[in-house]
Structure 1
């Protein structure tokens, strides 16, 4: 005697009334049909999203890749310098009325306009309050004083020296974006672990 098949929906044994039948009742058959439709709809949506991504990528220009790489770099700088004072005025997020945590910029010592080849150099960029970076045009004199203390005179001299011109390819910009996004995620994980450790120690 052959073993009874099991319904693909409710998994109960049943007797087939037609070849290749895999459901035991009209209700289970309807449920399976709806499940199949949902899967097909999901597959279609995934395909459409992939096609949209391909079309968007085809329309992207080098400036778009540059902007995305810069955003990833700036986010990394803010994560790296979280909790540190402004590089050019020593203010912090707790200073009354000056700024909030959402108002930190990634401020370049040598500006992107003056020295574009250092735009993705972490030594050249530090967390800076909006007032110094935007209203005071970088507050360069005070920036330099504190930068020497933070990274050393030799590294500041290197930043101020000549540098080879750079023109990043699209592939390089994509790699820069991926690199700094990964670094930023790693810093956030490390910061979360440190907070958890401190909280458990204090608790």
Structure 2
């Protein structure tokens, strides 16, 4: 096809009227161009093939109907993002109003959960009565609320400075952690059995260190939040490893 040089340049620069035209030669005021066959596009909505009109070569939809659908989808997506953002901002504002004790309880729970799962993963039994996981499952499976706890060797009330100490938390069955003496051995109380088994398994040095004395801990709220986040992440990682084992 032959067009004048002026016509070719004006159309080629100002519009997309020539589509994918390519100038091959230009001599004596005559331009020779070669046009490529039009390339079909795939509609993002109905997935049909369509030919984009001149001036809309970047169109992603085949027509007004699909354009309306994709517009509605984008508005819905934007609205959901706005609601999520507002919910997060509200949660952050409310968290500032919550007392320190609230975050301390959450941190204790996170550490206990991690220690319980960690000890179960190692195949250990109850640190107080010494029963194995198989024995507890066989006799206590009827009890509600699970079979195992992360129990404190030295109670949180007596030793608040050790409330967030992981080495003060060990695996206990529900019966022993509840204070029952039913499974105590050789006349020991649950706490005495706890200490005896802890010495046998971990050594007297750890028990002596736990008994202290220790300096009082004064955690700031941000420190407590950081501790909770750390052990929540450790629990998540441990569960992921167990799932892929």
Structure having the larger proportion of residues in strand = 2
C-alpha distance in structure 2 between counterparts of 1:2 and 1:69, whole Å: 65
Partner of 1:123: 167
1:111 Cα offset (Å): 0.5
C-alpha distance in structure 2 between counterparts of 1:40 and 1:59, whole Å: 29
Partner of 1:97: 139
C-alpha distance in structure 1 between counterparts of 2:126 and 2:60, whole Å: 67
Q: Given the alignment, which residue of 175, 188, 192 partners 2:226? A: 175
1:16 Cα offset (Å): 6.2
Partner of 2:69: 31
C-alpha distance in structure 2 between counterparts of 1:24 and 1:145, whole Å: 77
1:135 Cα offset (Å): 3.1
Scaled by the length of structure 2, what TM-score is found? 0.69
* CA pair 192-40 structure 1, distance change in 2 beyond 3 A: closer
C-alpha distance in structure 2 between counterparts of 1:22 and 1:143, whole Å: 69
The structure having more radius of gyration, on CA atoms, is 2
Partner of 1:62: 100
Select the structure with the greater relative contact order (CA < 8 A; seq sep ≥ 6): 1
Matched, 1:80 2:118: yes
Q: Cα deviations across residues 121-164 of structure 1 (Å, max 9, x unaligned)? A: 22211010111111338811100000001210111111112100
Name which of structure 1's ranges 43-52 and 103-112 shifts more when overlaid on structure 2.
Answer: 43-52
C-alpha distance in structure 2 between counterparts of 1:23 and 1:112, whole Å: 64
1:33 Cα offset (Å): 1.9
* CA pair 80-24 structure 1, distance change in 2 beyond 3 A: closer
SS of the residue corresponding to residue 126 of structure 2 reads coil
1:8 Cα offset (Å): 6.0
Structure having the larger proportion of residues in helix = 1
C-alpha distance in structure 2 between counterparts of 1:48 and 1:12, whole Å: 40
Scaled by the length of structure 1, what TM-score is found? 0.82
Root-mean-square deviation (CA, aligned residues, Å) is 2.8
Is there any run of 5+ residues in structure 2 with no aligned partner, and where?
1-17, 21-37, 182-188
Q: Cα deviations across residues 39-85 of structure 1 (Å, max 9, x unaligned)? A: 22222222222222223212221111111111110111111110311
Q: Which runs of 4+ in 1 moved over 6 A?
A: none
